[in-house]
Structure 1
Amino acid sequence: MKDFFKQKKKLLLVVMLMVVTLTGCSVPRGQNGKTYVDSIITIKEETVARKNVDFEKGSKAEKLYKDLKPDERITIKPTTFSDAMDEGWFHGIIVYPIAQLINWVANFTDAGIGIIAATFLIQLLIFLFSIKSQVANQRMQALQPEMQKIQAKYAGRTDDRSKMAQAQEMQALYSKYKINPFGTLLITFIQFPVILGMYQATMRAYSVVTGSFAGINLAKTPIEGLKEGQIAFGVIFILMVLFQLLSFKMPQWLQEHRKKKQHVKEKKYAEPKKQPGMMGSMNMMMYMSTAMIAIFAINWPLGMSFYWLVNSIVRVGQNLLIHKCFIKD
């Protein structure tokens, strides 16, 4: 019973962390996908074309610049740490430094390299602090057949004795594979503010709003680029969707490869008809989240698709590294 309440406290902490984070952040772009001019973060004074930004309804910027022609320029003053903190702790501590890192790297190369450098650095830090969690996530794939067996065994049995027996068998299964599901959730959601901060920083960094990668304009949407006959926009968008799916499926495929290599034969246990099981739910979430990202990204500046592509490639690499170096059984 003591362990139960400890786990409940961890879950409550996770929920509170998510609520605080979501409350502390805001949406820095309009419905057209373009960043609000007041939300752009820059190292020094810069200018931006009116056509590349949007304005919050009723804001001072809208009153000042709404009558500008698309190619006319708007001057943006340098963003200070104090300015970012005025927006809230989330912007000052997480979004601001990441956005300025992207801007700083972009000064020597371009916006695409800035996104790549910042993404690799952030993902490396997350990886170092969450190796156990990511290893546990891959181990979760190994216990799926046994978990399904337990679910099938107690399917339709709703009495308290059966529920308790099922819970005990599930706990024994987690102990066998040395997995603490609540601990894994806690570590996973601690990463949530940083990942969200990286996404917001990519939207707000001046170098991304106005920049390019290898000559490809990151401010244009994939639709706009394709209409102009620029195939690179479609390539980046399609690669983003594919690698997003690959990053989700990789742990499952690696586990299947491991079993095949070790000649592990397991019986396939039927899952309860009305309970699709954890794997089915995970697959559904994977396809839905990827579809949502694709729907939004097709009409958002290419910089967003490029960020999701780089982020997914890094996650695929992390999964391969964990599989090779940390999963021994």
Structure 2
Amino acid sequence: MSLHTTKIAPSPMAFVPFVSVDHMMQLVHRIGVRPMLRGLAEYIEEDFKRWALFDKVPRVASHSQAGVIELMPTSDGEVYGFKYVNGHPANTKGGLQTVTAFGLLSNVATGYPALLSEMTLLTALRTAATSAMVARALAPETDTMAVIGNGAQSEFQSLAMAELCGIKKLRLYDIDRAASEKLARNLSETGLEVTICAAPEEAVEGAGILTTCTADKQYATILTDNMVGAGVHVNAIGGDCPGKTELHPDILERGDVFVEYTPQTRIEGEIQQKADDFPVTEMWEVLAGARPGRTSARQITIFDGVGFAVEDFSALRYVRDQLEGTGLGLPLDMLADPDDPRDLFGMLMRAKA
């Protein structure tokens, strides 16, 4: 199937396929984690290359002291998609996920939903696939990555960078050593060489890619200016809402900053620390060949990644295309389907016991 094929034929059925967490896990294992990360990256890159077709708005966010709840909509004119997602850093103290999500695709021609899916797992996969897609375009040739912040996203980031960028060695740091031990344990049979470090300064030694992925909702300095040497690629994905950052602002001055959708990143990303005219490059421009990415061996490239709706659209589209013939996807009775579209009330009365 062409990656550009997004049209959904109107269905005569009143059922919408739902991909549960269990079915998503089964789908990932059918495909394989690393092949799925590669497949997601291909779909995301294809959609970035047709960027002009998409409706684009910063996500709609409802902030509280505890966290944020967001809606992320987009459409390419044929298919509409949205994701519901939260971010609540303190949830782990109660044994809950910091991020949960679900998403939907629907047919623009009819407005009928065509797919409903869990997106807690899928968001972790698509976030990692996006990071690796960007690093493949911007990072120097390297086999070593530092991973600072070893929470729920870290395994996905590590495997995506291994699959798409050839990373073989990981240098880990987290303020909670148990998190680093968890990551090392989960990657123990992947063939990756893993070193747990005692400090972030130690973790960045010899690494060509520096990934920061922390959860606390605060202005933080995970990477200081002296920790970022010439020629590295910084994959900064933890700062994703107002008041939450990971990089010292001086790092942004020394490097070239690449973003997904500038209006959203100025609100939520590392560049919220900078003036509104601080120069950035959108990744679709690089992937489409309209603007350069890495231009020299000593250049510092920075991906200020906050996540954007087109990536979720791509991920849902990928899942929809992989479901065919698997038997996965529960049919949900979500759509009223009267014999006469004008007689919704009659349908209700005929259902009376």
Common fold by TM > 0.5: no
More helix per residue? 1
**TM-score, normalized by length of structure 1?**
0.22
Structure of greater relative contact order (alpha carbons < 8 Å, 6+ residues apart): 1
Structure label with greater radius of gyration? 1
